[in-house]
Amino acid sequence: MLESRSLPREFKGLVILKLYAPPLFWSPWTSIAEATSQWAFKITATTESQAPSPFEAQVKYFDENGRQVVKNFGLTGSIVFKAGRPGVNTDAQQIFVRFRSVSIGQTVRVTVNQP
């Protein structure tokens, strides 16, 4: 993992991280944001490696009903979703991503913002 950090409790603005997509195995889940109430998020992932290769990506979060959701988005390169429970400001809910390359390891640029 090249860089990992959590966003402030109240997400506002744009965050850019560089993470590693290992070959054939999933990277550890990395926290990229907290949803303290219901927020819409857009995550975009692109390779920055010298030898680009396809990679898979997953996001894990809790939806408005409190259910844990895992979605794939590597082939499209981005995903838009709502996380967090409306009206609940005390339960901060982490949003995580992880990656794996289908061949050689990749450095992945991850952009998180609001659509």
**Domain boundaries, given as residue ranges, for the chain:** 15-113
Higher pLDDT, residue 9 or 31: 31
Query: Of 71, 75, 76, 115, which Cα lies nearest the Cα of 97?
Result: 71
Per-residue pLDDT at 37: 67
Query: Could you tell me what percent of the chain has a pLDDT over 70?
Result: 77
Q: pLDDT tens for residues 28-60? A: 999 887 766 667 888 999 998 888 889 999 999
Degrees to nearest 5, angle at CA 114 with 72 and 28: 40
Q: Strand order in 15-21's β-sheet?
A: 15-21, 106-113, 39-47, 78-83
Judge whether 110 and 19 are in contact, CB under 8 Å. yes
- The correct answer on CATH 2.60.120.380 for the domain covering 15-113 is yes
